[in-house]
């Protein structure tokens, strides 16, 4: 089988690339290993698909910021929004997070499905690409032994996160066979496993908090909703911190400030004032109306304070310990819930070998989306990055074709 462009992976990046190449003179094969295209998209944003954000900063992509900055200069964020408008999607903003107006992820997939319905685009589902060789274009093999010859490859197989959605990381081996470097892979945007005797009783509690992750002298902090579970903690702020947890955590711990709205330096004054207002309340009731009861009991236990003790009788040392627990409740981290539960992969194809203006890693070989060593924070940034990659690669192919096409002669 022969085509001008082979797109590997019908996820966010691959579908955007295919849609961009519709109705062109190029023949396009879109290969997807799963029985259906865009399966992961349906699970995104809790079924709503948070596909972009009105606040788009390269720094939201951590170490990849310089790469993303160059890429988003080449393909600015409004290009992606215009792309979706053009294919029929109306969006709504929820505090800057962009969702389809229908609030249904299926709408995003549907408009993409319609957009790739074009005579020049041939979709192959249940087709896993298991090998690629370069030389006078590219030759790809499928799991069933078929050979596909192509001039350009858009490599968009996703990462290693959420293997049940087609992305188990197998495809990095294809890069290594092409002598392209892949950095260490770790789960990101994932729940944290912690060790603390109070966890079973805190399970299911949600609270606003500032959560700080401490590891090897470094501290990263996030504020937002924290959710306790029997295994540890979850919530957007925990997800954001998860990329900093090493593979084998040692001396990694969280500190939780349960009153993020009060500056840490003022918590002690706040506590003393509260005690002076309610001196006769037992310690277990001192924070009623402020904190959930199970959190109060966990704090008191860690502070070594009896729950029955009259608040007004708390010694200065006990008040200091209570302040410490309110601002820096300590939870040792023993790991993450792993790739099975992660939304994104940290690590991937080293950005040093990829041109951010074209996304070529080799002449005619484009790497797109999560397979790259780039992970963004929560808020639509990972999908936006993947869509931008697909659009950029497709546009570069069209530019090359309009200016005489690619030459695969290595000596040229």
Ligand X SMILES: Cc1cc2nc3c(=O)[nH]c(=O)nc-3n(C[C@H](O)[C@H](O)[C@H](O)COP(=O)(O)OP(=O)(O)OC[C@H]3O[C@@H](n4cnc5c(N)ncnc54)[C@H](O)[C@@H]3O)c2cc1C
Is residue 5 close enough to count as binding ligand X by CB under 6 A? no
Scan for tokens 């090359």, then name that residue: 400
Is residue 128 close enough to count as binding ligand X by CB under 6 A? yes
DSSP label of 372: B
Residue 87 · residue 114 · CB < 8 Å: yes
Q: Of 26, 89, 129, 252, which lies in the binding site for ligand X, with binding defined by CB under 6 A?
A: 129
What character string, x for contact with ligand X (CB under 6 A) and - otherwise, covers 199-228?
------------------------------
Tokens coding 294: 């199970």
Identify which range of 22-30, 166-174, 210-218, 303-311 contacts ligand X by CB under 6 A: 166-174
Q: Of 17, 20, 29, 40, which lies in the binding site for ligand X, with binding defined by CB under 6 A?
A: 40
Residue 234 three-state SS: strand
- Smallest gap from Cβ 109 to ligand X, in A, equals 11
Is residue 380 close enough to count as binding ligand X by CB under 6 A? yes
Per-residue b or e along 41-68, where b marks 16 or more CB atoms closer than 10 Å to that residue's CB: beebbeebbbbbbeebebebbbebeebb
Q: Of 158, 187, 348, 364, which lies in the binding site for ligand X, with binding defined by CB under 6 A?
A: 158
Is residue 43 close enough to count as binding ligand X by CB under 6 A? yes
Residue 378 half-sphere exposure toward CB, CA atoms < 13 A:
22
Other CB atoms within 10 Å distance of the CB of residue 25: 9
Give residues with Cβ within 8 angstroms of 125, minimum separation 6: 10, 32, 34, 35, 36, 37
Q: Of 3, 75, 91, 167, which lies in the binding site for ligand X, with binding defined by CB under 6 A?
A: 167
d(CA 383, CA 388): 8
User: CA separation (Å) from 136 to 3, 27, 152, 407?
Assistant: 13, 17, 11, 8
In angstroms, what is the C-alpha Rg of the chain?
Answer: 25
Is residue 123 close enough to count as binding ligand X by CB under 6 A? no
- Smallest gap from Cβ 292 to ligand X, in A, equals 27
Using CB under 6 A as the binding criterion, the count of chain residues that bind ligand X stands at: 38
- Smallest gap from Cβ 34 to ligand X, in A, equals 5
Is residue 14 close enough to count as binding ligand X by CB under 6 A? yes
Sheet with 52-53, side-by-side order of all strands: 52-53, 97-100, 91-94
Phi (first) and psi of residue 403, to 5 degrees: -110, 30
Return the number of the residue (167 or 255) whose C-beta is nearest ligand X. 167
Return the number of the residue (86 or 126) whose C-beta is nearest ligand X. 126
DSSP label of 359: -
d(CA 142, CA 128): 5
Return the number of the residue (259 or 362) whose C-beta is nearest ligand X. 362
Is residue 31 close enough to count as binding ligand X by CB under 6 A? yes
Is residue 381 close enough to count as binding ligand X by CB under 6 A? yes
Return the number of the residue (240 or 255) whose C-beta is nearest ligand X. 240
Is residue 166 close enough to count as binding ligand X by CB under 6 A? yes
- Smallest gap from Cβ 207 to ligand X, in A, equals 23
Q: Of 369, 373, 377, 393, which lies in the binding site for ligand X, with binding defined by CB under 6 A?
A: 369
Q: Of 296, 303, 344, 367, which lies in the binding site for ligand X, with binding defined by CB under 6 A?
A: 344
**Site residues, ligand X (CB under 6 A):** 8-14, 31-34, 39-40, 43-45, 49-50, 128-129, 156-158, 161-162, 165-167, 171, 343-344, 369-370, 380-383, 386
């Amino acid at each position: 089988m022969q085509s001008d462009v082979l797109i590997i992976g019908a996820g966010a990046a691959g579908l955007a690339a295919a849609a961009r190449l519709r109705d062109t003179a190029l023949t396009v094969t879109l290969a997807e290993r799963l029985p259906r295209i865009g399966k992961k998209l349906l699970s995104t944003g809790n079924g709503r698909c948070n596909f972009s954000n009105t606040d788009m900063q390269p720094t939201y992509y951590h170490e990849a910021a310089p790469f993303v900055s160059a890429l988003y200069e080449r393909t600015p964020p409004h290009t992606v929004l215009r792309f979706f408008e053009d294919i029929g999607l109306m969006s709504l903003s929820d505090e800057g997070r962009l969702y389809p107006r229908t609030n249904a992820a299926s709408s995003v997939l549907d408009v993409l499905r319609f957009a790739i319905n074009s005579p020049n685009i041939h979709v192959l589902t249940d087709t896993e690409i298991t090998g690629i060789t370069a030389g006078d274009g590219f030759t790809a093999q499928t799991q069933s032994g078929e050979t596909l010859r192509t001039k350009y490859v858009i490599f968009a197989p996703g990462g290693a996160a959420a293997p049940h959605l087609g992305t188990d990381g197998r495809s990095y081996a294809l890069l290594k066979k092409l002598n392209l470097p892949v950095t260490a892979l770790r789960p990101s945007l994932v729940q944290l496993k912690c060790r603390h005797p109070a966890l079973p009783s805190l399970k299911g509690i949600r609270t606003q908090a500032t959560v700080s992750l401490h590891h090897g002298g470094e501290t990263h902090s996030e504020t937002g909703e924290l959710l306790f579970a029997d295994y540890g903690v979850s919530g957007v702020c925990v997800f954001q911190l998860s990329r900093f947890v090493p593979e084998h955590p040692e001396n990694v711990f969280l500190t939780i400030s349960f009153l993020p709205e009060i500056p840490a330096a003022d918590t002690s004054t706040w506590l003393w004032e509260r005690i002076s207002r309610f001196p006769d309340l037992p310690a277990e009731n001192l924070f009623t109306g402020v904190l959930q009861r199970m959190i109060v009991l966990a704090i008191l236990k860690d502070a070594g304070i009896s729950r029955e003790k009259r608040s007004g009788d708390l010694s200065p040392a006990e008040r200091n310990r209570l302040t410490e627990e309110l601002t820096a409740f300590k939870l040792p981290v023993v790991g993450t819930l792993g790739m099975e539960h992660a939304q994104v992969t940290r690590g991937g194809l080293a950005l040093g070998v990829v041109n951010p203006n074209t996304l070529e890693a080799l002449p005619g070989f484009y790497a797109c989306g999560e397979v790259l060593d780039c992970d963004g924070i929560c808020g639509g940034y990972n999908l936006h990055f993947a869509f931008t990659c697909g659009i950029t690669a497709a546009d570069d192919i069209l530019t090359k074709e309009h200016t005489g096409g690619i030459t695969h002669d290595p000596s040229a």
